[in-house]
Structure 1
Amino acid sequence: MANWKDKPPPPPLCKPDPLDQTGERKLLLQLKQRAEQLDSRAAALNRQEAELAVEKEAIAKQIAAIKPLAQKLEQINAAHKAADQKKWTALVSTYETMDPRSAARIFDGLDPKIVLNVIQRMSSRKSAPILADMSPEKAQIVTEKLAGMTAMTPKPQPVASLLPDGAP
């Protein structure tokens, strides 16, 4: 028999895996896990995006349903303002044609808000004699309110401007 020391060792049947020996296998496994996590996260984001698209569509439908109501409210508001303005114009016309002393006596007994609204709509040529004949206290209140009227009165916003821009 042959001496085993004289023979070379038998060749390996398979080459050893170089990844096992260098730690690269561990790194590749970590990269694979990270890729799976990223894929899972991308799928979740895609689901959220789809849900948001559905919600956005629902909101757009709600806005579309509200817009005609907002327009109707604006029409009603405009009609109300026109009627209100007509009422005040008639009242102003009445007091402008009255004797200033008679108007002043009536204004002395009225709520300052009403007096203010009437005086504000009158020409200064007509309102000055009335203010002069009013009681000093009432004339002072009305004058102070007239002086602060423009700074305190906000301009009303149309209802449509309250809807988001680009809304259908």
Structure 2
Amino acid sequence: MANWTDRPPPPPMCKPDPLSESGETAILLALKTREAALDRRAEALDREQQELDATKAALSRQIAALKPLAKRLEALKTQNQSTEDAKWAALVATYGTMDPRNAARIFDGLDPEIVFNVLRRMNSRKSAAILASMSPDKAQSITERLAGEPAPPSMHPANALLPDGAP
């Protein structure tokens, strides 16, 4: 082997790396770091999308399972409404055939909600005759309900006779 101390070393065979002498290496390293961060973010978004897809599929299955139940409930609601309508129709027919004074005497003692539901389904000619035979307070209360505008408690005739602050 040759002793290099006697002679200078041979000239380099390769050119020096131009990137090592400038800030380009730092830029490339920063780009590589950014690329790795973007890859991690893309993987996280892919996982989130998979979770969303799984949740969407689970919700679709739940909705599909609830649809028959909703149809069943709707059928029961319709059946219940028909039964309810038939009950009120029978009461309307019963009180519609009675003498208005007799019906009014009975209505004066009934819950106003029942009276309201019967009279609102009754022919207006028959309900007018019954209302005319009822006690004035009860007739007023039912008429206000039929009109959809109940009077405030302070304006009710029964309360107008009481002194202020009286129970």
* RMSD over equivalenced CA pairs, Å: 1.6
**Deviation of the 1:142 alpha carbon:** 0.6
Q: Alpha-carbon deviations, 1:12-31, whole Å to 9, x = none?
A: 33322111222011011101
Q: Indicate whether 1:117 and 2:106 are aligned.
A: no
The list of structure 1 runs, each at least 4 consecutive aligned residues, that deviate by more than 3 angstroms after superposition, is: none
Report SS of the residue matched to 1:141: helix
Report SS of the residue matched to 2:70: helix
Gaps of at least 5 residues in structure 1 are: 1-7, 150-168
Q: Alpha-carbon deviations, 1:136-156, whole Å to 9, x = none?
A: 11111111111117xxxxxxx
Q: Alpha-carbon deviations, 1:120-165, whole Å to 9, x = none?
A: 000111100101111111111111111117xxxxxxxxxxxxxxxx
Gaps of at least 5 residues in structure 2 are: 1-7, 150-167
| Counterpart residue type for residue 74 of structure 1 | E
Residue 155 of structure 1 corresponds to none
Q: Alpha-carbon deviations, 1:78-122, whole Å to 9, x = none?
A: 001001100000000001100000111111111111000000000
| Counterpart residue type for residue 37 of structure 1 | A
Aligned counterparts of 1:21 and 1:140: Cα–Cα separation in 2: 101
Residue 73 of structure 2 corresponds to 73
Q: Determine which structure has more spread, i.e. the larger CA radius of gyration.
A: 2
Q: What TM-score do you get using the length of structure 2 for normalisation? A: 0.81
Residue 23 of structure 2 corresponds to 23
Residue 103 of structure 2 corresponds to 103
**Deviation of the 1:11 alpha carbon:** 2.7
**Deviation of the 1:54 alpha carbon:** 1.1
Q: What TM-score do you get using the length of structure 1 for normalisation? A: 0.80
Aligned counterparts of 1:67 and 1:32: Cα–Cα separation in 2: 52
Q: Alpha-carbon deviations, 1:6-51, whole Å to 9, x = none?
A: xx99533332211122201101110111111111110111111111
Aligned counterparts of 1:102 and 1:133: Cα–Cα separation in 2: 9
Aligned counterparts of 1:36 and 1:90: Cα–Cα separation in 2: 79
Report SS of the residue matched to 1:12: coil
Residue 36 of structure 2 corresponds to 36
Residue 147 of structure 2 corresponds to 147
Residue 54 of structure 2 corresponds to 54
Q: Across the two proteins, how many residue pairs are aligned to each other?
A: 142
Residue 163 of structure 2 corresponds to none
Aligned counterparts of 1:131 and 1:73: Cα–Cα separation in 2: 38
Which stretch of structure 1 is more off in the superposition, 95-104 or 16-25?
Answer: 16-25
